A and B are shown apart, each in its own frame.
Chain A
């Protein structure tokens, strides 16, 4: 049994023990706190060091980028310019950074390159590194050619948050390239002309001979008759010569016709879509120069036709060039060409070339395929006439239409080579 004093003592001991425990606990806590505080202080210092380092690095990078002679810029996914260096400002003719920073980059991309530019942006934000060329119209309206190397810029977690682009002005290079190409075209034209010229000269010389003989005989007859010193019988021989020489001239012309006939179309099985793509390739430059967008809507599969591919190329080329020129000459606002290949009846394929130009005057629409008919200032009116004879020699037809809302449509048909298709393919072909 515990006495009252015992209980008091015990109580005191217990109490004292509890205080000690408490004190110890407090001390431990304090110690831990101090430790933590010290550790915290250490960490702050460390962070500050890292921050300082980062700042230094950034400043160094910034200095390099600022003095970089080529345009360096950061863009957001929607095309907003986030940052751009002074070279970039100069490239787009911006006087102050705020003229372009925070604005969409598309404001300095030429209309016909907007789509191409957007495509490339999409590819970069999908993780690709790309190089692309485009035409730019600067803030002051200056047109120039640019080449951009663009890579995705990722944050710490690896998410792409911006596009880093390095762009340079390639206008001069582009100009030289175009000069070269134009020179090539010119050479080809001159070569063709000189071949034609040579043929014409040869033909002229050939025909001159019998014509000169005929003229000499005839003049000789007239002179003798005028002088009255010849009887009719003496004229028979020279007149027979005249006939002979006229026949000789006819023979020469027959040779020419045979020669021309020899260059008849060389027919093979041709993938019409491929021909169209080929034409687009070599009219691309012209179309771009005239700020014209060419869109293809090709029949699925490979619509094959029996044709001379060079000649068909020539027809499509003619139609595309005409469209480009018609739109350029009349300063159409929207310049667009759509080339379609589509089925036409059971056994034909149709090629359609649609433009957004001024269309064709209803009064002359029936004459556009006539020889020497032209609305162009420097045209000779042979293009469509030749096109028609090519199409017709292939067993097809060519037509011109002018749409109510402006724009012309030229379409021609070619005979399709029937292909053995499986049932399901047949259902899909040409109808998707």
Chain B
């Protein structure tokens, strides 16, 4: 987990630097940004980790940054909001809009570090699933249109003969396509194939 990065966005540089000093004690990478715009411009989405974001900032607020990230429609790191005293309503809005968590200033150091660790674990899980999904997409993408047709009917439970009838092919040809599909999908059995097809549908 030590390859995870904590991105800190806070207009108050003293607070941002102090957070770096604190978070580095648990051997995490820290990158600080002085504004929401700086983050949007300089952030590498491929880096795992989490974002620690101040709700109140001049210019683009933390909530706006969250909206902009959501509008990109690509995966982004989980966000932990830091709210001031009396900003609970803002925090609730942020969580409703998909934020991972929030901490209220002044916060306990251990509490913040625990939340950061949970966010990073969540990010790792998301990234793992995202990886699986893209692998799955790659497997399906490797099939020819005909192979895809055969696969769809096979997972519906049709016999080779029924598939052959449905597609107007010979049973022999269906047999060949089917073997090819099994090979390309790294499936050892029909049930493997059904599982992969279901995962693909869910993704």
Q: Is the CB of A212 within 8 A of B105?
A: yes
Give the contacts of B1-30 with A (CB-CB under 8 A). 12, 14-15, 17-19, 21-22, 24-25
Q: Is the CB of A209 within 8 A of B12?
A: yes
B42 within 8 A of A: no
Give the contacts of B61-110 with A (CB-CB under 8 A). 84-86, 105-107, 109
Nearest neighbor of A217 in chain B, beta-carbon distance: B18
Q: Is the CB of A213 within 8 A of B84?
A: no
B58 to chain A, nearest CB (A): 13
Interface size (A, Cβ < 8 Å)?
23
Instruction: List, in ascending order, chain B residues with CB within 8 A of A248's CB.
Output: 14
Binds B, one of A5-13, A146-154, A219-227, A262-270: A219-227
Query: 1/0 per position for A235-278, CB-CB distance to B under 8 A?
Result: 00010010011001000000000000000000000000000000
Binds B, one of A90-98, A200-208, A388-396, A422-430: A200-208
Query: 1/0 per position for A177-212, CB-CB distance to B under 8 A?
Result: 000000000000000000000000100110011111
B110 to chain A, nearest CB (A): 8
B56 within 8 A of A: yes
Instruction: List, in ascending order, chain A residues with CB within 8 A of B17's CB.
Output: 213, 241
Instruction: List, in ascending order, chain A residues with CB within 8 A of B22's CB.
Output: 216-217, 219-220, 223
Q: Is the CB of A216 within 8 A of B18?
A: yes
A131 within 8 A of B: no
A215 within 8 A of B: yes
Interface size class of B (residues with CB under 8 A): 10 to 19
A114 to chain B, nearest CB (A): 54
The residue that A211 contacts in the complex, of B24, B56, B106, with Cβ under 8 A, is: B106
Q: Is the CB of A216 within 8 A of B86?
A: no
Please list the residues of chain B having a beta carbon within 8 angstroms of any beta carbon in chain A: 12, 14-15, 17-19, 21-22, 24-25, 56, 84-86, 105-107, 109
Please list the residues of chain A having a beta carbon within 8 angstroms of any beta carbon in chain B: 201, 204-205, 208-217, 219-220, 223-224, 227, 238, 241, 244-245, 248
Extra pairs beyond A213-B12, A216-B15, A241-B21 (19, CB < 8 Å): A204-B85, A210-B14, A212-B107, A213-B14, A213-B17, A213-B18, A215-B18, A215-B106, A216-B18, A219-B22, A220-B18, A220-B21, A220-B24, A223-B25, A238-B18, A238-B21, A241-B14, A244-B14, A245-B18
